[in-house]
């Protein structure tokens, strides 16, 4: 790629074409970063929440690759106050010398040209997750701006980009002595992404996982933007053994963590394999597999190798045991893995993944290598620890006997499913036989089932009423589970069979929709069903076949017009917008806001109102923060307080540097040393008897953005604060009302929305008649549903174990810790 191709270019309009013509003029050539910006989903998966956070993973993975190569031990990830994110490492630093063929700094080549990187020849990175050289350059292309700082060769180098193009060339900005490393700071382009903020929980899970997989690497993560002010350091000298213990939180272990590792020569170099496993008293299996730190969620050759070795080794050892596995016992791999948590991590010089998403490892030689290592090491462990081996074999024999006891029940669910002769009698089936067109509604009880059956589309919609609550499969072995009538009915209706008879191709419905009441009992039934699908039929969730219906909470009637409202939040918004009916909002210059303009203004004012309430909970006011803003509209981030009561003095600092400088001045004035950590408070109370205290206002950057949005709509901060006289006029039925501040405008419209309104809250699906239920919840043209997705299997497993498992104390602690966080409770 030439130098000109890395700069923004103006598109030359093609010559006008006749309708229907298709020739060379229709062929577009997207060069460099343009291709990424035009089709971002091809490179990062999507432009929603997943893709937004994938940008972070691409940058962090570069630092992890430095750790794999042995050059990096510390990675620092910070969500900055302005919403950008920084990743800093102490690796070697991206090269900054001139590239021999591109004739520009190597760092510029790496960050602006696709398929440019140091991972192709194998000399710098023996193993690496990123092999295509598109990761960090894609992040650059999809960022509004990116700043990179490199410490290398005794100097600090700095370069800046915008949307993939250099805006400030590489310059030396300081000295760094012997320090080395790279700091990448970027702000995603919000014109591309529908998600506009980094989420702590999502990033936390991935960073924790990386720390487990890379023993000894320290990853520090801090959120400087969110109100929660989260900060955590992940550092695990025990590596994947500690990962196994973490996965088994809230479970009772039957064995210690069993660990072994080894290496062998592969086709492209030395393959390293590491395995950590532990049996618990549960009936589910957790298999987490990784290749070069990439989570291979679909498994692959490393998982196949482990499974084959586990089955063969336990069979061999168990048959040699007294009272162990008998020759006639047909023990299966599923029996071997019941209650097992295992992590298989391999390092492969040139991994081959099936698909761009890298979810399944395809290197054939890895299977034999893992098989050989596990077979040898596991047999040695059993021989040296016979007591542990006996526990494992006894656990497997119990699983085998339970499976045998459940065979008859399973047979009932398997025979004749597709011919319709043995379908459960209470299933109200549909006439369509093409599974891609059919839906199965799982409803709570006969009352809702009756309404759903009467109102459904009989061609494509089937109804299965569930009487009572299905069994909690987290606590039940397979024989007890299959003895439960509701579970057997459910398996039969779905049509895929169960366990070794499972065949996803025989599914009878591509949408399995859980439709329960919006109360405590409905939530419990929903959780029990999700537990069953997650533990026993996870492929249904993985393929996106499981949905949650979203029945409305409210029916709203006003002026003989009926509307259905889904949530409390939507109800609040409805009150707001109904207030605009037959009402006109006019600026003081006489300009009338059209309906869309008024709605956008009111939505923004409602958001600012939420921000204001959050600030007030901290003991300050939005007015105080806005009065302290600087000439550029920057809202202060820190509040410093001296004295108590009427004598208390509150002052503000814009950023961390100004805060530290002011603290230094105050120490001189007060002739004392201020301990910054111990003087931080979460809320300002004037009565606190402290000589000095301070708090960080996490909403400062959000408040500034909201005020900028307000300015874009033609209003000022003074209009919001009520300092500029009349800001708008509300006109209705020939009368006009002056509004002195924008919060007054919001409240006036809300009050208007409450007039003449009748609100009915549904307590259950059975309260709706058939037409009402179909119209609001079942009609594909109008309904809203949530597809159940498995974005974090580890978190899901822990939550199901916590809420549905046998251990009482962890569940009690969870309830005690989170009781005050409940936003709505239906009693």
The residues that are catalytic are: 444, 517, 519, 521
CA–CA separation, 109 and 329 (whole Å): 62
CB 255: neighbour CB atoms within 10 A?
A: 18
Strand order in the sheet with 692-696: 649-653, 638-642, 692-696
Residue 688 CB partners (closer than 8 Å, separation 6+): 644, 681
Indicate the SS3 state at residue 426.
coil
Backbone angles phi, psi at 245, to 5 degrees: -60, -40
**Using N-to-C axis directions, what is the helix angle for 386-405 and 301-320, rounded to 10°?**
100
Q: Which two tokens stand for residue 643?
A: 């004295």
DSSP lists the bridge partners of residue 556 as 563, 759
CB 274: neighbour CB atoms within 10 A?
A: 22
CA–CA separation, 266 and 397 (whole Å): 36
Q: Whose structure tokens read 């009609």?
A: 779
Backbone angles phi, psi at 97, to 5 degrees: -75, 170
| Count of CA atoms in the C-beta half-sphere (13 A) of 85 | 27
The helix or strand, by DSSP H or E, that contains position 557, with its residue range, turns out to be: strand 554-558
Q: Are 284 and 481 in contact (CB under 8 A)?
A: no
Indicate the SS3 state at residue 291.
strand
Q: Which two tokens stand for residue 818?
A: 């989170």
Alpha carbon separation from 246 to 209, 294, 315, 612 (Å, rounded):
10, 19, 29, 39
CA angle 331, 490, 511 (to 5 degrees): 110
CA–CA separation, 129 and 131 (whole Å): 6
Q: Are 773 and 451 in contact (CB under 8 A)?
A: yes
Residue 116 CB partners (closer than 8 Å, separation 6+): 109, 110, 133, 137
Q: State the distance between the two ends of the chain, measured CA to CA, in whole angstroms.
A: 65
User: With helix as H, strand as E and coil as C, how does 785-803 read?
Assistant: EEECCCCCHHHHHHHHHHH
Alpha carbon separation from 596 to 577, 584, 734, 738 (Å, rounded):
11, 12, 22, 21
Q: Are 242 and 236 in contact (CB under 8 A)?
A: yes
Q: Are 137 and 184 in contact (CB under 8 A)?
A: no
CA–CA separation, 792 and 800 (whole Å): 12
Which segments of 568-641 does DSSP mark as H helices, in order? 568-578, 595-617, 622-627
Alpha carbon separation from 350 to 3, 127, 364 (Å, rounded):
31, 7, 12
CA–CA separation, 132 and 116 (whole Å): 8
How does strand 649-653 pair with strand 692-696?
unpaired
Alpha carbon separation from 399 to 94, 339, 403, 674, 803 (Å, rounded):
53, 9, 6, 62, 23
How does strand 340-347 pair with strand 286-291?
parallel
CA–CA separation, 662 and 157 (whole Å): 30
Indicate the SS3 state at residue 92.
coil
Which conformational region is residue 292 in: left (phi greater than 0), alpha (psi within -120 to 50 degrees), or beta? left
CA–CA separation, 128 and 126 (whole Å): 7
């Amino acid at each position: 790629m030439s130098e000109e191709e890395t700069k923004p270019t103006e598109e030359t309009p093609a010559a006008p074409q006749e309708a229907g013509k298709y020739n060379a003029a229709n062929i577009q050539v997207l060069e460099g970063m343009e291709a990424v910006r035009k089709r971002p989903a091809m490179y990062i998966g999507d432009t929603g929440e997943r893709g937004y956070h994938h940008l972070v993973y691409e940058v962090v993975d570069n630092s992890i690759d430095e750790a794999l190569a042995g050059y990096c031990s510390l990675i620092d990830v910070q969500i900055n106050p302005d919403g950008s994110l920084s990743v800093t490492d102490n690796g070697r630093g991206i090269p900054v010398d001139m590239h021999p063929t591109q004739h520009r700094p190597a760092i510029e080549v790496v960050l602006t040209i696709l398929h440019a990187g140091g991972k192709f020849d194998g000399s710098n990175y023996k193993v690496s997750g990123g092999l295509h050289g598109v990761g960090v350059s894609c992040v650059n292309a999809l960022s509004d701006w990116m700043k990179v700082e490199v410490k290398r060769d005794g100097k600090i180098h700095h370069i800046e980009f915008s949307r993939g193009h250099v805006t400030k060339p590489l310059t030396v900005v300081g000295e760094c002595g012997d320090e080395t490393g790279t700091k990448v700071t970027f702000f995603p382009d919000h014109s591309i992404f529908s998600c506009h903020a980094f989420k702590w929980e999502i990033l936390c899970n991935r960073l924790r996982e990386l720390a487990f997989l890379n023993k000894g690497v320290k990853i520090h993560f801090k959120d400087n933007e969110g109100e929660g002010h989260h900060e955590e350091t992940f550092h695990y000298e025990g590596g994947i053994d500690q990962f196994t213990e973490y996965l088994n939180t809230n479970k009772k272990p039957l064995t210690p963590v069993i660990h072994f590792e080894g290496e062998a020569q592969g086709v492209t170099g030395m393959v390293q394999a590491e395995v950590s496993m532990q049996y618990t008293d549960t009936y589910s299996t957790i298999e987490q597999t990784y290749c070069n730190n990439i989570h291979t969620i679909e498994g692959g050759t490393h998982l196949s190798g482990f499974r084959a070795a586990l089955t063969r080794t336990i069979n061999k050892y168990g048959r040699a045991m007294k009272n162990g596995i008998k020759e006639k016992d047909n023990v299966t791999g599923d029996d071997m893995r019941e209650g097992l948590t295992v992590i298989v991590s391999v390092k492969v010089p040139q991994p081959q993944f099936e698909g761009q998403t890298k979810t399944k490892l395809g290197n054939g030689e890895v299977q034999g290598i893992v098989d050989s290592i596990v077979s040898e090491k596991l047999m040695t462990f059993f021989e040296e620890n016979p007591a542990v081996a006996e526990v494992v074999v006894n656990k497997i024999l119990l699983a085998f006997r339970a499976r045998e006891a459940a065979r008859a029940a399973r047979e009932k669910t398997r025979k004749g499913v597709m011919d319709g002769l043995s379908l459960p009698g209470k299933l109200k089936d549909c006439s369509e036989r093409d599974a891609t067109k059919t839906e199965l509604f799982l409803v709570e009880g006969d009352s809702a089932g009756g309404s759903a059956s009467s109102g459904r589309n009989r061609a494509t919609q089937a109804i299965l009423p569930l009487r009572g609550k299905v069994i909690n499969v987290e606590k039940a072995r397979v024989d007890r589970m299959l003895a439960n009538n509701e579970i057997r009915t459910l398996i039969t209706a779905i049509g895929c069979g169960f366990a070794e008879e499972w065949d996803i191709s025989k599914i009878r419905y591509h949408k399995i929709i859980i439709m329960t009441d919006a109360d405590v009992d409905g939530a419990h039934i929903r959780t029990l069903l999700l537990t069953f699908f997650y533990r026993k039929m996870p492929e249904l969730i993985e393929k996106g076949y499981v949905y949650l219906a979203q029945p409305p909470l409210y029916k709203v009637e006003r002026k003989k017009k009926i509307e259905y409202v889904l949530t409390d939040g939507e109800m609040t918004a409805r009150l707001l917008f109904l207030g605009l009916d037959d009402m006109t909002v006019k600026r003081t210059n006489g300009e009338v806001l059209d309906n869309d303009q008024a709605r956008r203004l009111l939505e923004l004012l409602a958001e600012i109102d939420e921000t204001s309430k959050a600030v007030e909970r901290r003991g300050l006011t939005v007015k105080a923060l806005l009065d302290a803003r600087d000439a550029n509209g920057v809202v202060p981030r820190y509040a410093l307080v001296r004295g108590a009561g009427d004598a208390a003095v509150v002052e503000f600092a814009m950023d961390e540097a100004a805060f530290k400088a002011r603290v230094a001045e105050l120490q001189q004035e007060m002739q004392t040393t201020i301990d910054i950590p111990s003087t931080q408070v979460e809320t300002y109370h004037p009565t606190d008897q402290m000589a000095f205290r301070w708090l960080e206002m996490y909403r400062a950057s959000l408040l500034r953005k909201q005020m900028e949005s307000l300015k874009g709509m033609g209003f000022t901060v003074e209009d919001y604060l009520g300092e500029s006289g009349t800001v708008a006029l509300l006109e209705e039925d020939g009368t006009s009302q002056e509004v002195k501040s924008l919060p007054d405008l919001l409240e006036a419209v809300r009050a208007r929305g409450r007039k003449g309104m009748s609100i009915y809250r549904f307590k259950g699906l059975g309260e709706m008649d058939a037409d009402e239920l179909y119209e609001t919840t079942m009609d594909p043209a109008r309904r809203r549903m949530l597809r159940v997705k498995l974005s974090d299997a580890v978190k899901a497993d822990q939550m199901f174990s916590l809420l549905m498992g046998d251990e009482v104390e962890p569940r009690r602690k969870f309830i005690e810790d989170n009781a005050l966080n409940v936003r709505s409770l239906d009693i």
